[in-house]
Amino acid sequence: AQSVTQLDSQVPVFEEAPVELRCNYSSSVSVYLFWYVQYPNQGLQLLLKYLSGSTLVESINGFEAEFNKSQTSFHLRKPSVHISDTAEYFCAVSSSASKIIFGSGTRLSIRP
């Protein structure tokens, strides 16, 4: 069975500081990995995804995540955050033969 763990339930950072949101997964088969973002009072939007190929994937708003098979991780990073990045972030894992499983979420709060 697959599982995904988001190690931090809340991450407070100052504006323009770097941030890393951690995500680890367990699976016995090849995986697909995703990060979703949920802004206050909105639904979930896909931020970025790893299906195959390059292990480093990027979003249009400056986030990136790297698939690390040996460490079974898919951490999300941004070198400089903005107030508008305040949101909840969900990591998710699936495979070619299983449903998508979501982590418990990390609330990113940005301080001016």
Partner 1 sequence: NAGVTQTPKFRILKIGQSMTLQCTQDMNHNYMYWYRQDPGMGLKLIYYSVGAGITDKGEVPNGYNVSRSTTEDFPLRLELAAPSQTSVYFCASSYTGQGGTEAFFGQGTRLTVV
Place of tokens 């990073």: 77
Only one of the segments 14-22, 59-67, 74-82, 86-94 lies at the binding site for partner 1 (rule: CB under 8 A); that segment is 86-94
The dihedral through the CA atoms of 40, 108, 58, 61 has a sign that is: positive
Residues 18-47 that bind partner 1 (CB under 8 A): 32, 34, 43-46
Place of tokens 């339930």: 9
If binding is defined by CB under 8 A, does position 100 make contact with partner 1? yes
**Residues engaged in binding partner 1 (CB under 8 A):** 32, 34, 43-46, 49, 51, 88, 90, 92, 94-100, 102-105
